Amino acid sequence: MRAAPLVAGCAAALAGAAARRVARFRPAEVAVPPADDAGLDADAAAARLAELIRIPTVSSRDPAQVDAGAFERFRERLAELYPHTHRVLEREVLLGGALLYRWRSGTDSPPLVLMAHHDVVPVTGQAWSRDPFSGAIEDGCVHGRGAIDDKGSLVAVLEAVESLAAAGHTPARDVYVSSSNDEEVLGTGAEQAVQAFRDRGIEPWAVLDEGGAVVTGVFPGVPGQLAVVGLAEKGLLDVELVTSDPGGHASSPTPDGAPARLARAVLRLDAAPFPARLDDVVLGMVDVAGRHASGAYRVLFAHAPVLRPVLARALARASREANALVRTTVAVTELEGSSARNVLATRARAHLNIRIALGGTVASTVERLRRVVGDPSVEVRVLSGTDPSPVSRTDNDAYAALGAAVRAVYPDAAVAPYLMVQASDARLFAQISDSVYRFMPFDLSRGELDALHAADERISVAALHRGAVFFRHLIRSL
């Protein structure tokens, strides 16, 4: 009889502790005046984005496949499209072509860094309904590769800076604009920018890069808008599974040969996924979303702190995107065997692209891979790896200013923390700032989100304009 009150008391204590952890991710939802869009022209911004889309700044891991002339034309056209920005701000072209602008404030306050890369992914093999580099403005949208990822963000930033610079505005703290030319291939552009800050002894007040967005209908039971702000991103690990054989003629195959052993290793990994787990950032997202949910979902999410295991399993089954939020994922992206139809493979290889959940490390992930593969003849080779990023602060003026800017443009949106499952340049800036946020200030539909890195990428002219209004408000609020 006494056990029941004891268990209930323990559960209440655990819920209280978990609720306190969640509470630190809740922004103060106070009313703010609507943002002023004076000096911003939505149609002109769309036209400028269209021009920049027409310059195919496609990055590649193979330098021979990169059109350096396209990147040079992009830099030149940027200066022509934004003359006040290039008159007022100092511009550096870092080694390789990354851009770093500084808008001096005349103060020693730590700066705000706004990030948006200008390289894009290839369009090869994708079924576009129009020329992917046409920059067509049709049906209220700007179409083309980079419209959202990430030239749209760069244009939104520069539209805001241009309008303020033209009006003679001086920011209350320095504002930097960092635009790398090789983010899509995990290049060195952002590394050089970070090193420049280190060399100059600068620790940013806040850094804002691509990531979450303003979304509707993507969270079960939540009918309204959610502005999901990335506080951290998963680690990234590239691994090869390799096994070898003497080879020989295919007419006399070897039992349990290299391809068979490799296939068995891949199937073992597929059958034993990393455990689902609800970390504090995702729990914070669930909590904010739950307070805006309806019916049974509101009741369920209200008890999220004590239902972590249940919710983790539910999210893992809900969708690919939700599954990626709650566990380390392993994707087999390349398979290789014999190079000839009638020759046995002397080497079989599989490439694994792994995104490490918060709480994991490269070392712990590799150790588990080896344990699950369980075959000493299959080598687990680490090609590259980074641990998950630190979780950025939400108890400071920087996060409060970000939330206020969101509500000034999207008054009906709830601001929620978010775990970014992709890799971005922001992870590098986390080395020099504890306030690195991943958020694109665009309200995007499910179709627009699905078109990222895919065919028919596009952004509405209205969303692009609201993004520029957001950045203008954020800069003015410093």
pLDDT at 295: 81
Written as six digits, the tokens of 178 are 């960092």
Could you read off the pLDDT tens digit of each residue along the chain, which spans 478 residues? 333 332 233 333 334 444 444 555 554 566 788 999 999 999 999 999 999 999 999 999 999 999 999 999 999 999 999 999 999 999 999 999 999 999 999 999 999 999 999 999 999 999 999 999 999 999 999 999 999 999 999 999 999 999 999 999 999 999 999 999 999 999 999 999 999 999 999 999 999 999 999 999 888 788 899 999 999 999 999 999 999 999 999 999 989 999 999 999 999 999 999 999 999 999 999 889 888 888 888 887 778 888 899 889 988 998 888 899 999 999 999 999 999 999 999 999 999 999 999 999 999 999 999 999 999 999 999 999 999 999 999 999 999 999 999 999 999 999 999 999 999 999 999 999 999 999 999 999 999 999 999 999 999 999 999 999 999 999 999 9
Structure tokens at 94: 């870092």
Instruction: Give the span between the Cα atoms of 227 and 371, in whole angstroms.
Output: 40
Rg (the chain; Cα; Å) = 24
311 secondary structure, DSSP code: H
pLDDT digits (tens, 9 = 90+) for 308-337: 998 899 889 988 888 999 999 999 999 999
The 3-state DSSP class for residue 238 equals strand
- Token couple for 357: 């959940």
User: In a 10 Å sphere around its CB, with 0-12 CB exposed, 13-18 middle and 19+ buried, how is residue 106 labelled?
Assistant: exposed
Six token digits for residue 58: 């496609």
Domains 42-211+393-403+422-476 and 235-386 share a fold: no
Residue 443 β-bridge partners? 214
Annotation: CATH topology of 42-211+393-403+422-476: Aminopeptidase (3.40.630)
With contact defined as beta carbons under 8 Å apart, do 29 and 414 qualify?
yes
Q: Residue 176: beta bridge partners? A: 102, 113
Domain borders along the chain are 42-211+393-403+422-476, 235-386
Token code pair at residue 298: 């509101």
Task: Please report where in the chains the tokens 């209004």 appear, as a residue.
Answer: 469
pLDDT of residue 26: 52
At 82, list the tokens. 């934004």
Task: Return the pLDDT at 13.
Answer: 34
> Under CATH, which architecture does the 235-386 domain have?
2-Layer Sandwich (3.30)
